[in-house]
Structure 1
Amino acid sequence: MTQRTIAIVVNARSANGHDDDLRARIEAALPTDAGRLLWFQPRKSSRLERVCQRAATVADLVVAVGGDGTVRTVAQHARARGKPLAIIPTGTYNLVARHLGIPLDVADAARLAITGSARPTPCGDINGLLFFNHAAFGLYTRIIAARERHTAVLGRSRVTAVLSGIATLFNRYPILKLRLDVDGETKHCRANAIFFGANPLPLATVDAEFATQCDGRALGLVLMRHQGRRHVLAAAFKALFGRLSDAPTFELTALQDTTVDILRRRRRLRVSIDGELIKCRLPLQVHYQTEALQVVRPDPLESSA
């Protein structure tokens, strides 16, 4: 019987990825007949794309060890090569793993990666780039960029992320002139931010009922129409209690496909894709894909038992 080749991509820069014993803990949790293990651990984040491409080329199964950004990058190349993906979460938030029912414990996740079954898993797609959690731009990208600057000095934590976001709200933020084509209808508006959610967990912080409506069925579009700073701060307060849909300047829409264009001279736009800032060419083509790739995860019936 041919031995299965398993490529394990480790991001040492994730919250728990710098653990010196991480590889040993993963190896100790795997069964002796797991297969041929190939380890990939890029020293620089700029090399992650190339490493993931190589890992997806040579392996039968690709395992992402890191946070949501690492998972997205590995998944992008696994999808391109038609390879199944497994996840060992070591990030700060681990929203992908939490949504899919993947254990947050390293040993448990490692065992599931090898012994579990790969299942069709939905995700979003923006200009050919996969995302599990979100794709967002406008004010949101300002918040992400500020967070990266602050964590470089203060360290990566939830408290730093929250304080950084609040500080950003008091600075200037963009006014976007948008054209949206949704389900055959075109509309124009001015907005401060657009957020496409593919994961119900972040959508639930906006509106729990809306998150349930979208879960496994559609992307959730959160459009923040242009408004003054006082209204933005009020909306942020509402979001803490999951009542953002009460704000009149916000629109929530469940959708399958949309095209977004922005009236601006530069035809490239910084977009936050699962927390990573990536420049995308306009217009943006956004889709919801129900069977984008195969991900090793628990049986839904088992996880709900």
Structure 2
Amino acid sequence: MDETATPPTPTDPPAVARSGLIAVIGNPSSGRNSRDEDAVGAALKAFGPGAELYRWTPETDIAHTVERALADGAELIVAAGGDGTAMAVAQSMLGQSVPMAVLPLGTFNFFARGLRLSEDPVQAAQAIRDGTPSSIRVGQVNKRVFLNNASLGIYPAILKAREDIYARWGRRRVVAHWSVIKTFLRFQRPMNLRITADGDTRNYRTPLVFVARSAYQLELFGLRGAGAISDDHFAVLVAKGGSRADLFRLAARLVMSDAREGRDYELIRARDVSISTGRRRALLAFDGEKSFERSPFHFEMSSDLLNIVQPVPEDAEDAA
């Protein structure tokens, strides 16, 4: 790889005194309904004067809502929702001098949890209000932003099965677990993939490829690769095994944080990754969302920066 082509290291923008418009972009009427509505209301009060809710619905383009908030003079854009909402807002905020923040309302909130934000809306709003912006690079797959991970194989299939089961039986934890078992039982054969990582091409036979941009998620499951992410690389985990028994074994080891590099997966560290599935289209999952996309899949670090507000570290507060 030509190191001269490597993007410069991000430098943090200056801190902003937030006395103007704080635009909170969310759809609190969906999902958990009144709980999200109450959470957003509590957060708006915690942000103080100047905070305003910009509602959007899945039928509308969230980019238009972000553009309207910026045109209104917002000095901070807050994505109120789960990882999918944060990802959609981040897509529109790349390259903007105005920072964005995340108010966690969704189910998993891996990105917000990686920023060490509380899932209590008042505490999160206070931390955002007093936080400082940092410039980061985010992952992109075929030019679409993702903040945590993207994957091909068995995991996107699990998400699809879960959505189908939710539609029939409702959103319950036991239903989510059943979607995993059901997908594993239907598993037929692993994928044949060609992966090019920073110019090095290899062929793999695997049930799952997991492209991580979140060190928090890796650490949560005891997986290696956090160092690669801190160096602005992807951590690409290629699962080993080609049978149902292998999948159940790997799932159990992930739950126990006992999955090991070499035995259960191969780890690839790279800035630029291309994955060819051998099929014209394949199901791709990214930050909990999913869609059928055309192969090959090109993963790259964003050239534009995302200015994201992070809480002041506790040790810094203690020193003050």
> What is the TM-score with the length of structure 1 in the denominator?
0.85
What CA distance in whole angstroms lies between the structure 2 residues aligned with 1:205 and 1:173? 29
| Structure 1 residue aligned with 2:20 | 4
What CA distance in whole angstroms lies between the structure 2 residues aligned with 1:202 and 1:304? 26
2:237 to 207, 219, 222: 222
Q: How many pairs align?
A: 298
What CA distance in whole angstroms lies between the structure 1 residues aligned with 2:245 and 2:203? 24
CA shift, 1:298, in A, is 1.5
CA shift, 1:297, in A, is 0.9
1:26 to 39, 43, 47: 43
| Structure 2 residue aligned with 1:261 | 276
| Structure 2 residue aligned with 1:285 | 298
CA shift, 1:103, in A, is 2.0
> What is the TM-score with the length of structure 2 in the denominator?
0.81
| Structure 1 residue aligned with 2:6 | none
Task: After TM superposition, list the pairs within 5 Å mapping 1:34-183 onto structure 2.
Answer: 35=50, 37-42=51-56, 44-55=57-68, 57-58=70-71, 59-79=74-94, 81-173=96-188, 175-183=190-198
Question: Residues 8, 173 of structure 1: CA spacing in aligned structure 2 closer, same or farther, 3 A cutoff?
Answer: farther
Task: Indicate the SS of the match to 2:196.
Answer: strand
CA shift, 1:96, in A, is 0.9
Matched letter for residue 283 of structure 1:
P
| Structure 2 residue aligned with 1:294 | 307
Task: Indicate the SS of the match to 2:43.
Answer: helix
Would the aligned equivalents of 1:56 and 1:83 in 2 still touch at CA under 8 Å?
Answer: no
1:188 to 191, 203, 207: 203
Question: Which structure carries more strand by proportion?
Answer: 1
CA shift, 1:54, in A, is 3.1
Deviates more, 1:134-143 or 1:114-123: 114-123
1:275 to 251, 264, 288: 288
Deviates more, 1:233-242 or 1:170-179: 170-179
CA shift, 1:198, in A, is 1.2
Matched letter for residue 42 of structure 2:
R
Would the aligned equivalents of 1:56 and 1:81 in 2 still touch at CA under 8 Å?
Answer: no
Question: Residues 15, 62 of structure 1: CA spacing in aligned structure 2 closer, same or farther, 3 A cutoff?
Answer: same
Deviates more, 1:103-112 or 1:65-74: 103-112
| Structure 1 residue aligned with 2:212 | 197
Gaps of 5+ in 2: 1-16
What CA distance in whole angstroms lies between the structure 2 residues aligned with 1:115 and 1:155? 38
